[in-house]
Amino acid sequence: MEEAIKTAIPSSADGMSRIDGRAKVTGKAKYAAEYRPDGLAYGVLAGSTIAKGTVTAIDIARAEKAPGVLAVVTHFNSPKVPGHQKPKKPTKKAGPILVFNDNVIHYNGQPIAMVIADTYERALYAASLVKATYNKQAHDTKPPSDISMGIAPWGKDSVRGEADAWKNAPFKLEQEYVIPTEVHNPMELHAIIAKWDGADKLTVWDKTQGTQATRDDIAKAFNIPAANVQVIAKFVGGAFGSALQVWPHEIAAILGAKLVRRPVKLVLHRQDMFTSVGHRPYTWQKVGIGATADGKLVGITHEAVGQTSTYEDFAEGPINVSKGLYACPNVTTRYKLLSLNIGTPTWMRGPGEATGAFALESALDELSYQVKIDPVQLRLINYAKVDPENGKPYSSKYLDEAYKMGADQIGWENRRQEAGAVKKDGWLVGYGMGGGMFGAYRDSATVKAVMRADGTLLLQTAVTDIGPGTGTAMVLIAADIMGLPADKIKFEMGDSSLPNAPMQGGSATTATVGGAVYDACTELKQKFQKLIGNGGTDNPDYAKILSDKNLAGLDVTTQSSLGADAQNKYSMQAWSVHFTRVLVHPATGVVKIDKVVSVADSGKVISQKTARSQLIGGAIGGIGMALMEDAIIDHRYGRYVNNNFADYHVPVNADIPQMEALFVNKPDSHINAMGAKGMAEISLIGMAAAVANAVFNATGKRVRDLPITPDKLI
Amino acid sequence: MKQFQYVKASSNAGVITAISKPGTKIIAGGTNLVDLMKRGVTAPDRLVDITHLPLKSINITGKGLHIGALALNSVVAENALVVEKHPLLAMALKAGASPQLRNMATVGGNMMQRTRCTYFYDTAMPCNKRAPGTGCGAIGGINRMHAIFGTSSKCIAVHPSDMCVALAALDATVIIAGPKGQRTLQFTEFHRLPGEHPELDNHLATGEMILSVEIPDNNFAKNSYYLKVRDRQSYAFALVSVAAALDIQNGVIRGARLAMGGVAHKPWRLFEVEKSLIGKKPTEENFAQAAQLAMQGAKAYEYNAFKLKLAPATIAEALKHASGLV
């Protein structure tokens, strides 16, 4: 295994740029909405303007007569989607929105009509002419404010050791923490082009994190063989979890294309991104935490209530961090969902854990001031050497090294334990830190590796790259095994017709698909070595061997294993810690992030450049969570009011200082042959607390309801 | 969006004739109008493109600094005359929007931009400014960004511009052409308060267009500052902004100009506060006192009460910067 790790890590190519970087910045990269099949028509959705009730009538007469309109689809006239069947047994909740299927309105902005026209502008105009009348019912969009609200999706509380033991500790605190609804808001809007190639044959260009899962869901909905559906997602302009499932607009476009017998393109508007493709749920949390005078944790009780929709449950794990991050003998967790008239939430980068880490890592910081122990030291005192939940050894954990690297780099020694003690040029200066963890998953994937006559290697698999640089990392893995320069390797992906790969999600792609690339390349190389006999050579001349043996090419298709044994034996986690230095203006409450050091312990780093980008990107997402992001609903109407990029703030360049991304970069010898774990989620997890803790250190003001806007600090 | 006619006018007179017809709007940079059209907030039948008219010049005239209505925000912000004579205007411009928007936006368009009140933008919501008589969504709604001065029971929207706050402070005048010829308006009189007619943002009459603005010479170049407090460091509208200009001689304030943004339906000039500073020394105490005076008549709503505290703090801070105390 050690041997394998050494070979798998390319050294010369550490600084390699993205293989698709040039295509992306020159506009050559084609995203879902950019294809132009002949006869393309344009769909625009009209949404409900009430949050609960039924549609009694929809006047489409004016829209139908508008110039260029090909069809106006509503639940009154929509052809049935064959796979859209109501569950036979009545369940408590209706299940996912079946678009144009019935007259029930579950949330404000729910699609009620689609106009298809020969140009986008005409479709947009005609959609504005669609007028619905409703039988309005009283809605509820108000978020949870305590644990008594909501229903526990997993039944009972989870109790390790003694319940609520923190209450008996000499040093203790109990506080409430709130994160508002956040929206993924990738720069690329959700978009689909659907083109029927026959009665039961379909090509779809789609923004998706999984071409094959999308293919299967579409095939099921339209009751056609999965083999007849091709889903193409060559480039994805960010997704962060919002494209892990098939949403109503995708079904609508496919339905519309069938109806008008033309390919249909449907691009969501920015305001639809708030209602129709999921979000990070508003979550209320309460943490009780107690410690002895020497900082040993006695107990943690972590309660959380997240919002979900009235028609579908979405549950995640905000309380997981409290179970796993520290060696604490007594941990009680309680999680509930509150059903509201909103669209169903979904996974958003660092799902659950990012929410939970804000609460836990803030509480730990508050505790550090009580017990008067440095926050880093407090974490080291409670360092978990084995998984506290099940006693399993970690497959690898160097979080203590990450703490040290981060503390050294930020200049932690300059931090003063008392809050509000440091001033510079009229600004208050504060230091903060916060960390997190996320399960290091590994799935199975299939890769086809083809050595072609000219000595170039083609790798094929259906996986998508939503931005982390998957293709780049895969090429680096292959380059090292095959002994080929990166420019002789082509990685083909983003097409459901390619060999099987799971969705890009849960930080599992590098570990999963990377493992398959590793296996396929290793096997292919062995094939060549066998061909030349005598044990072969370390660096075969592939083109020459093929030519000598009169072969047009040589290929292998390999399915990587799940590695279930190792996954059972070890607790596999990736770890992060973020350090920040912030400046707060005492009079105006303006917060400036002055320096960020993020450290990842995610096994061996495959691609230095893209890993750095990913860690920085996640940390910036955490800055947004800490200081800006807040999707606001006017509860009188149950409708989002800041559903655009001018009013829903994410950080811009001016908000971001020099970001430092550090890696422990030690292989996990159990997860896969490369020793690499994913790092998408951990890049964000813990960052919001690192900022909030620094703001407290600067000002003495503890903000427990995000975002930390200037008005909360004056 | 509704299909519309697009015409290019070849002269000011042509523009005036065109916009005298109902349903016609001028388009210059289009940074606001196109958004409004896409969202269905406004649906003109006809757009008159004026971008090729000779209204871009920035030069000295007998009345001060003349800035053409079509001068780009980015060009004005970097113009040597502006930077030298009225750095406050350059600072305000650079605090506005984003570089990309400033490269398209014109001075006249900046003055004509509509409020960013989210109820105004969402056609499913009530808004007296967009659809008179439908009510104000912001009163009793999400009004964190809204006005604390000069509001009415019909509207509590704010004017979003930074540039206009500086021009209001600098005693600028607006040169307007219309069917009856040219006229001049004090910049502070250009925009209006909502009153009973929030659908009207300003005092331009039908058929009138902005030709230019003029800033009289002053002694403020040395001691001026534009401070914008916002939720992020760029591309965010002001929670509160302050344009502060002082004429300090021998350690005593001889003249002062102050205007606020993000607090009213128009740039909010603080004449009383200016007067109170005359003859005073530029000290932190004097500035804090003056700032409190600015808050007379302020009225907060559910989510914007913080502005009652933030506004005076920002005034005092801007004055400190202007006078060199910071």
The secondary structure of A306-343, three-state, reads EEEECCCCCCCCCCHHHHHCECCCEEEEEEEEEEECCC
Task: Return the pLDDT at A538.
Answer: 80
Task: Return the pLDDT at A85.
Answer: 73
The CA distance from B74 to B66, in Å, is 16
The CA distance from B285 to B269, in Å, is 21
Task: Return the pLDDT at B182.
Answer: 97
Q: B interface mutation test: which of A42, A620, A647, A648 has the most B CBs within 10 A? A: A647
Band of pLDDT at residue A156, cut at 50, 70 and 90: confident
A295-322 per-position pLDDT tens digit: 999 999 999 999 999 999 999 999 999 9
Burial state string for B9-43 with b = 16 or more CB within 10 A and e = fewer than 16: beebeebbebbeeeebbbbbbbbbbebbbebbbee
CB atoms within 10 A of CB A182: 27
* Closest partner CB to A714 (pick from B141, B237, B313): B313
Closest residue of chain B to A624, computed from CA coordinates: B232
Task: Return the pLDDT at A86.
Answer: 66
Q: Do A642 and B314 touch (CB under 8 A)?
A: no
Q: Which helix (H) or strand (E) is B228 found in, with range?
A: strand B223-229
* Residue A675: closest CA among A4, A49, A112: A4
* Closest partner CB to B233 (pick from A587, A642, A652): A652
* Residue A241: closest CA among A90, A79, A350, A371: A350
* Closest partner CB to A649 (pick from B1, B123, B236): B236
* Residue A230: closest CA among A242, A243, A216, A244: A216
Give me the mean pLDDT over the A3-27 stretch: 68
Task: Return the pLDDT at A20.
Answer: 94
Q: Which helix (H) or strand (E) is B92 found in, with range?
A: helix B87-95
Q: A interface mutation test: which of B32, B231, B240 has the most A CBs within 10 A? A: B231
Task: Return the pLDDT at A533.
Answer: 83
Q: A interface mutation test: which of B45, B47, B146, B233 has the most A CBs within 10 A? A: B233
Beta partners for residue A557, in sequence order: A448
The CA distance from B248 to B256, in Å, is 9
A251-296 per-position pLDDT tens digit: 999 999 999 999 999 999 999 999 999 999 999 999 999 999 999 9
Q: Domain residues of chain A, as ranges?
A: 2-29+443-562, 32-138+189-236+243-274, 158-181+279-440+569-712
Tokens for A471? 């293709």
Q: Chain A residues with CB inside 8 Å of B226's CB?
A: none
Give me the mean pLDDT over the A26-55 stretch: 98
Is the confidence at residue A232, as pLDDT, over 70?
yes
Give the 3-state secondary structure of residue B318: helix
DSSP A536: -
What angle, 0 to 180 degrees and rounded to 10, lies between the N-to-C axes of helices A248-260 and A211-222?
60
Cα–Cα distances in Å, from A339 out to A24, A277, B254? 40, 17, 63
Is the confidence at residue A6, as pLDDT, over 60?
no
Band of pLDDT at residue A88, cut at 50, 70 and 90: low
Tokens for A456? 């170039």
Are B232 and B238 a contacting pair, CB within 8 Å? no
**Looking at A466-470, A581-585, B169-173, which range is the least confident one?**
A466-470
Q: What is the pLDDT along chain B (326 residues), one digit of tens a residue?
A: 788 999 999 999 999 999 999 999 999 999 999 999 999 999 999 999 999 999 999 999 998 999 999 999 999 999 999 999 999 999 999 999 999 999 999 999 999 999 999 999 999 999 999 999 999 999 999 999 999 999 999 999 999 999 999 999 999 999 999 999 999 999 999 999 999 999 999 999 999 999 999 999 999 999 999 999 999 999 999 999 999 999 999 999 999 999 999 999 999 999 999 999 999 999 999 999 999 999 999 999 999 999 999 999 999 999 999 999 99
Task: Return the pLDDT at A441.
Answer: 86
Task: Find the largest Cα–Cα distance for chain B.
Answer: 62
* Closest partner CB to A634 (pick from B142, B230, B239): B142
Task: Return the pLDDT at A3.
Answer: 38
Q: What is the CATH number of domain A32-138+189-236+243-274?
A: 3.90.1170.50
Q: Do B234 and A709 touch (CB under 8 A)?
A: no
Closest residue of chain A to B307, computed from CA coordinates: A711
SS3 content of chain B, % helix, strand, coil (to 5): 30, 25, 50
Rounded to the nearest angstrom, the minimum Cα separation between B124 and chain A is 6
Q: Do A628 and B313 touch (CB under 8 A)?
A: no
User: If interface means Cβ-Cβ distance under 8 Å, which residues of chain B face chain A?
Assistant: 1-3, 38, 40, 98, 116, 118-119, 121-125, 137, 140-142, 144, 227, 229-237, 239, 306, 309-310, 313-314, 316-317, 326
Give percent above pLDDT 70 in chain A.
97
Task: Return the pLDDT at A5.
Answer: 39
Task: Return the pLDDT at A508.
Answer: 87
A89-99 per-position pLDDT tens digit: 656 798 999 99
Are B181 and B110 a contacting pair, CB within 8 Å? no
**ipTM of the prediction greater than 0.85, yes or no:** yes
Rounded to the nearest angstrom, the minimum Cα separation between B181 and chain A is 38
Is the confidence at residue A9, as pLDDT, over 50?
no
Tokens for B78? 């970097």
Task: Return the pLDDT at A94.
Answer: 87
Cα–Cα distances in Å, from B14 out to A63, B26, B45, B70, B206? 35, 11, 17, 16, 14
Query: At a CB cut-off of 8 Å and minimum separation 6, what does A572 contact?
Result: A394, A395, A439, A440, A441, A442, A566, A668, A670, A671, A677
B287-313 per-position pLDDT tens digit: 999 999 999 999 999 999 999 999 999
Q: Which fold has domain A2-29+443-562?
A: Aldehyde Oxidoreductase; domain 4 (3.30.365)
What rounded mean pLDDT belongs to chain A?
Answer: 95
Q: Do A641 and B123 touch (CB under 8 A)?
A: no
**Residue A681 annotated in active site:** yes
Tokens for A610? 């893209």
* A602 φ/ψ angles, rounded to the nearest 5 degrees: -125, 40
Q: B interface mutation test: which of A588, A655, A714 has the most B CBs within 10 A? A: A588
Is the confidence at residue A332, as pLDDT, over 70?
yes
Is the confidence at residue A684, as pLDDT, over 80?
yes
Q: Chain A residues with CB inside 8 Å of B244's CB?
A: none
Task: Find the largest Cα–Cα distance for chain A.
Answer: 81
Task: Return the pLDDT at A535.
Answer: 64
The CA distance from B95 to B99, in Å, is 10
Task: Please report how many Cα atoms fall inside a 13 Å half-sphere around the Cα of residue A27, on the Cβ side.
Answer: 1
Q: Chain A residues with CB inside 8 Å of B310's CB?
A: 588-589, 710-711, 714
Is the confidence at residue A10, as pLDDT, over 50?
no
| Torsion sign over Cα B8, B10, B16, B21 | negative
Closest residue of chain A to B304, computed from CA coordinates: A711
Cα–Cα distances in Å, from A188 out to A31, A114, A115, B55? 8, 21, 22, 37
Is the confidence at residue A1, as pLDDT, over 60?
no
What is the number of CB-based contacts under 8 A between chain A and chain B?
Answer: 91
Cα–Cα distances in Å, from A379 out to A460, A576, B106? 44, 13, 55
Q: What is the CATH number of domain B5-51?
A: 3.30.43.10
A592-647 per-position pLDDT tens digit: 999 999 999 999 999 999 999 999 999 999 999 999 999 999 999 999 999 999 99
* Residue A517: closest CA among A579, A555, A464, A559: A559
Beta partners for residue A333, in sequence order: A158, A302
Task: Return the pLDDT at A162.
Answer: 98
End-to-end CA distance of chain A, in Å?
57
Band of pLDDT at residue A7, cut at 50, 70 and 90: very low
Strand pairing category for B240-249 and B252-261: antiparallel
Q: What is the CATH number of domain B223-323?
A: 3.30.390.50
A158-181+279-440+569-712 CATH choice from 3.30.365.10, 3.40.50.970, 3.40.47.10, 3.40.50.2000: 3.30.365.10
Task: Return the pLDDT at A13.
Answer: 46
Q: Where in chain B is the domain with CATH 3.30.43.10?
A: 5-51
In terms of residues, how long is chain B?
A: 326
Q: Do B326 and A426 touch (CB under 8 A)?
A: yes
Looking at residue B103, its amino acid is: N
Q: Is-same-fold flag (A2-29+443-562; A158-181+279-440+569-712)?
A: yes
